[in-house]
């Protein structure tokens, strides 16, 4: 599917079998222009999964470790240097990476895990928000690969590619953002889009093999969807999914993208 010439790739993937997942991701990378477009030798590449809380992979709340491992192996095989990082909102970083299976992968593949701490203020002259506060370690990588999870969200309706980059805000600062914006989802969505645009991932992968509906992002019903998606433009991915589900620009991130004139926010 091409959304305003922004390509979004959907691949069937029935299980979290590592080889099946890896094959699906390789297919996505090839469809988007080939591995070398995204991974080069010696590049420090940050893998940014959804590590919302300390939940097991089987619960469908966080990015499955098989997706992270498959991507890490692809990076290593192409002589890149993978790192793994996120900023859980509430629970301790150590508890989250242990319960979600990320610590096990990092030890097996010798991947350094980076907690997103040490906030730093950055200028974003092209944004609706001219100053942003993000985790300082995020600035140290050559590229970011964003791995989101297909889930519903009680406040936003959905949580997909763009919102996953909220993770570059240090944990405690996230709570401050929720207080700051309150129920003004339109302004909050513009802020999330600016976060995404400021440190734009080279590619966004969506783990939709098992996702969540109902009372997401953490207490909904686990659902099998059997897909992995990929794109260079997470706004296009979010827009495609929202319209496919009949939500359209009722999803505030899509609506904000339209108003901001962001490419990929219209079907």
Report the distance separating Cα 138 and Cα 143, nearest Å. 9
Please determine, for residue 204, whether its predicted confidence score (pLDDT) is greater than 70: yes
Model confidence, pTM: 0.96
How many Cβ atoms sit within 10 Å of the Cβ of residue 203?
Answer: 25
Please determine, for residue 53, whether its predicted confidence score (pLDDT) is greater than 70: yes
Contact 200, 143 (CB under 8 A): no
pLDDT band at 249 (very low <50, low <70, confident <90, very high): very high
Contact 236, 8 (CB under 8 A): yes
52 secondary structure, DSSP code = -
Contact 61, 86 (CB under 8 A): no
Residues 6 or more apart in contact with residue 158 via CB below 8 angstroms? 151, 152, 238, 241, 242, 245, 247, 251, 253
Buried b vs exposed e over 216-253: b needs ≥16 C-beta within 10 Å? bbbebeebebebbbbbbbbbbbbbbbbbeeeeebebbb
Tell me the pLDDT of the chain averaged across its residues: 96
Phi, psi of 262 (to 5 degrees): -80, 130
The whole-number pLDDT of residue 4 equals 46
The whole-number pLDDT of residue 5 equals 79
User: Mean pLDDT lowest for which of 96-110, 162-176, 205-219, 251-265?
Assistant: 162-176
Domain ranges of the chain: 2-260
The whole-number pLDDT of residue 175 equals 85
Report the distance separating Cα 247 and Cα 228, nearest Å. 20
What tokens does 60 get? 């469908």
pLDDT band at 15 (very low <50, low <70, confident <90, very high): very high
Could you identify the residue written with the tokens 């966004």?
A: 204
State the Cα angle at 239 between 234 and 243, rounded to 5°. Answer: 150
CATH superfamily of 2-260: LarA, N-terminal domain (3.40.50.11440)
How many Cβ atoms sit within 10 Å of the Cβ of residue 77?
Answer: 11
pLDDT band at 89 (very low <50, low <70, confident <90, very high): confident
Buried b vs exposed e over 114-127: b needs ≥16 C-beta within 10 Å? bbbeebeebebeeb
pLDDT band at 78 (very low <50, low <70, confident <90, very high): very high
The whole-number pLDDT of residue 3 equals 44
DSSP string, 144-179: EEEEEEEEEETTTEEE-HHHHGGGGS-HHHHHHHHH
Residue-wise pLDDT tens digits, 161-202: 999 999 999 988 888 998 999 999 999 999 999 999 999 999
pLDDT band at 107 (very low <50, low <70, confident <90, very high): very high
Which residues lie across from 19 on neighbouring strands?
A: none
Mean pLDDT of 64-70: 99
Which residues lie across from 113 on neighbouring strands?
A: 84
Residue-wise pLDDT tens digits, 116-163: 989 999 999 999 999 999 999 999 999 999 999 999 999 999 999 999
The whole-number pLDDT of residue 178 equals 84
The whole-number pLDDT of residue 2 equals 47
Report the distance separating Cα 28 and Cα 8, nearest Å. 9
């Amino acid at each position: 599917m091409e959304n305003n010439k922004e390509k979004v790739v959907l691949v069937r993937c029935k299980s979290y079998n590592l080889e099946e997942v890896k094959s699906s991701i390789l297919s996505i990378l090839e469809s988007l222009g080939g591995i070398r477009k995204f991974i080069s030798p010696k590049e420090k590449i940050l893998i940014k999964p959804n590590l919302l809380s300390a939940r097991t992979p089987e619960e469908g709340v966080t990015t499955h470790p098989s997706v992270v491992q498959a991507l890490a192996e692809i990076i290593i095989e192409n002589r890149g240097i993978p790192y793994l990082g996120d900023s859980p909102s509430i629970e301790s970083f150590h508890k989250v990476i242990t319960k979600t299976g990320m610590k096990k992968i990092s030890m097996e593949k010798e991947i350094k895990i980076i907690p997103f701490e040490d906030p730093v203020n950055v200028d974003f002259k092209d944004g609706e928000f001219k100053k942003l506060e993000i985790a300082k370690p995020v600035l140290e990588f050559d590229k970011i690969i964003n791995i989101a999870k297909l889930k519903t969200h009680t406040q936003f309706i959905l949580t997909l590619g763009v919102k996953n980059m909220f993770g570059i805000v240090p944990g405690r600062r996230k709570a401050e953002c929720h207080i700051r914006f309150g129920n003004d989802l339109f302004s909050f969505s513009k802020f999330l889009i600016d976060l995404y645009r400021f440190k734009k991932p080279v590619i966004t992968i969506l783990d939709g093999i098992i996702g969540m509906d109902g009372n997401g992002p953490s207490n909904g019903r686990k659902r099998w969807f059997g897909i992995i998606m990929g794109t260079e433009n997470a706004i296009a991915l979010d827009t495609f999914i929202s319209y496919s589900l009949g939500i359209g620009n009722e999803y505030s991130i899509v609506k904000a993208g339209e108003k901001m004139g962001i490419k990929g926010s219209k079907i």
